[in-house]
Amino acid sequence: KKKKKGGDEEAAVATAEEEAEKPPVVDRQAVIEEAKLNAKPFGQRDSMVTQATKAEFGDYQCNAAMGLAKSLGKQPRECAAEIIEGLRPILGDIMEEPEIAGPGFINLRFKETYLSDAICRMAKDSENRLAIPKATNPKKIVV
């Protein structure tokens, strides 16, 4: 849409360009779910992603391969490898290479560049919302 005033039009173009440069917000649970669905024949919807219990395990750990292995008649490490294969194209710019640990746990660690970029976006947010978009249909909740 074009604005009547030249300054407004330039501001609108600049805002659109800034929006296009922002990397997408990532829902880690949805990413794991999609990777599991892509790693056929996995179909369960419980990805079992939790915050890592120890720093050496990374930022998050996924225990889904343990439960899937029994139901699929496979080794847990084999299931974990298939889940990781599904994660690679999705998490390439966000996470370090996922690691299989122990009998079939998947350790996930954010890339430092992804975290620093996210922090910079939050710090530069002119609306002081930490780069969190406003709700499209805000609702009031009375407590």
> Domains of the chain, with CATH numbers?
28-114 (3.30.1360.70)
Please state whether the predicted TM-score (pTM) of the whole model is above 0.75.
no
HSE value, Cβ hemisphere, 13 Å, CA-based, for 94: 16
Give the pLDDT score at 126: 82
Query: How many other C-beta atoms can be found within 10 angstroms of the C-beta atom of residue 76?
Result: 21
Q: How far is CA 48 from CA 11, 76, 99, 103, in A?
A: 44, 14, 16, 15
b/e burial code for range 97-133 (CB count within 10 A of at least 16 → b): ebebeeebbbbbbbeeebeeebeebeeeeeeeeeeee
Residue ranges, the chain, pLDDT below 70:
1-26, 36-47
pLDDT digits (tens, 9 = 90+) for 23-32: 556 677 777 7
One-letter identity of residue 105: F
Contacts of 40 (CB under 8 A, 6+ apart): none
